[in-house]
A and B are shown apart, each in its own frame.
Chain A
């Protein structure tokens, strides 16, 4: 039995100022094995965040079901933790305070909160910055804090929504490598949304390609590149192949978007 089992998932949103609904995601089925790193790519607006937030238990399902370890999800739970795209740190709390926040909300009772938080902060390489406040950190450092906060609660499943979306290419690459280093320790099941093709391949055991109108899964691509990985694989033959395949998918989506624009 897979760790995450998504069946016939559909999520409708109400359109603003009307009673009409529209489907952000429809007919999505996906299984994710324990310890698998799954990346989700697709053009903007195809429902990637919606899918992720559904797994997080932060949006309600219109159709279908999501099970984790065989149990139907019902709202957020301690088995999952989310890393949001940005701006989800409490500005009035220090790095340590922010990492402790998730633990506090979960009523964590696995030992000293401060110690646990410091452990995670060191893990993401911010040991010297534990007393800094978010406004004193760079974007990359903030995302490290977000990751530390999510890891601190020791979830079964890590959900990440474009965590490096706001970073420059260089930093993004470093963060990707860092993330893999951390992930290799205990190989938590991970769902990772991204716009970046290279990032999607570099991190993944499996890439989910989504299409739009309504959001659906177009293809699931297995990535068999060896682990542990480093930047060297970016130049490998297999990597090139995968990159080409993903490009073709996204180009297809772009051309359908242009069509929409022409009609409009």
Chain B
């Protein structure tokens, strides 16, 4: 236990140290003239610019716009992915019927649908949500599917021996048994939803972190652009970590449903 804690700490410390190392290296490389700041700016400039953007409210605006699309796309992907995944995991026919779409999604890059969505939904929020929804849908669907489909046969048989009906087995055996895999799918979905939002914002939006990145990128204002990039990275890490935490909570089987 203590060793484990130490190990965790150690990982955290090492991770932090290497991050700091990179930031320091970045600053020094620019200060010594090794790298042209025009391409990459410097940590101190980015920090100063962050404060400026924070104070004039553009950080809040962009983060809010991105998170708005993120929340919608992840929410929709979670609902649709879990429902379809449960149906496909339980009914082999549904799985077969959905299979072509999944292959299609795996092999064709989702961004390729961008123009199509623009044609249907116009530029802006709805299209961004749609793209990010597609990004996030696959892992949530696929994990739910495999969780339900790989229900422990011995447990299902034990349930049947007590007279369980198919719906009992689904609700009391298959579903709770799939929660950890579904959580893992959700964690992947979170990362992909955020990626989806930012990528879609790069193409066309009037607010959001992705929008800010392209906007300042096109103006060659590297420092201003770096602020949004760093925020995206931090958001991604933060959201994924929250999900990882929830995942270990559900994975340990230590959560007592008290039933």
**Chain A: residues with CB nearer than 8 A to chain B?**
56-58, 76-78, 80-82, 84, 87-88, 90-94, 97, 100-102, 104-107, 131, 133-135, 153
State in angstroms the CA–CA spacing of A87 and B177 once bound together. 13
Choose from B160, B254, B258, B259 the contact partner of A76 (Cβ within 8 Å).
B160
B189 to chain A, nearest CB (A): 22
Q: B9: CB under 8 A from chain A?
A: no
Total cross-chain contacts (CB, 8 A) = 70
Choose from B159, B160, B168, B253 the contact partner of A92 (Cβ within 8 Å).
B253
> Given the known A-B contacts A56-B161, A81-B161, A135-B253, are A88 and B155 also in contact in the complex, defined by CB atoms under 8 Å?
yes
> Given the known A-B contacts A87-B154, A88-B154, A92-B176, are A105 and B162 also in contact in the complex, defined by CB atoms under 8 Å?
yes
Q: B105: CB under 8 A from chain A?
A: no
Q: B56: CB under 8 A from chain A?
A: no
Identity of the chain B residue whose Cβ is nearest the Cβ of A103 in the assembled complex: B162
B170 to chain A, nearest CB (A): 13
B7 to chain A, nearest CB (A): 21
A101 to chain B, nearest CB (A): 7
Which of B162, B164, B257 is most buried by chain A, counting CB atoms within 10 A of its CB? Answer: B162
Q: B255: CB under 8 A from chain A?
A: yes
Contact A92 B255 (CB under 8 A): yes
Which of A87, A90, A94, A135 is most buried by chain B, counting CB atoms within 10 A of its CB? Answer: A90
13 contacts between A and B (CB under 8 A): A76-B161, A78-B163, A82-B158, A84-B161, A87-B155, A90-B172, A90-B173, A92-B176, A92-B255, A93-B257, A101-B172, A105-B159, A135-B253
> Given the known A-B contacts A97-B257, A97-B259, A105-B168, are A90 and B176 also in contact in the complex, defined by CB atoms under 8 Å?
yes
> Given the known A-B contacts A78-B163, A100-B259, A105-B162, are A92 and B177 also in contact in the complex, defined by CB atoms under 8 Å?
yes
B164 to chain A, nearest CB (A): 4
Choose from A77, A81, A88, A153 the contact partner of B157 (Cβ within 8 Å).
A88
Q: B55: CB under 8 A from chain A?
A: no
Given contacts A76-B162, A80-B161, 4 further A-B contacts (CB under 8 A): A58-B160, A87-B154, A97-B259, A105-B164
State in angstroms the CA–CA spacing of A94 and B258 once bound together. 7
The B interface is mostly helix, strand or loop, or mixed, namely helix
Number of interface residues of B (CB under 8 A): 24
How does the 8 Å CB contact mask read for B235-259 relative to A, with 1 for contact and 0 for none? Answer: 0000000000000000001111111
Contact A91 B253 (CB under 8 A): yes
How does the 8 Å CB contact mask read for B141-161 relative to A, with 1 for contact and 0 for none? Answer: 000000000001011011111
- B166-187 interface with A by 8 A CB criterion: 168, 172-173, 176-177, 179
State in angstroms the CA–CA spacing of A135 and B192 once bound together. 34
Identity of the chain A residue whose Cβ is nearest the Cβ of B259 in the assembled complex: A97
State in angstroms the CA–CA spacing of A134 and B157 once bound together. 18
Chain A residues with CB below 8 A from B177, complex form: 90, 92
Contact B253 A58 (CB under 8 A): no
Chain A residues with CB below 8 A from B152, complex form: 87
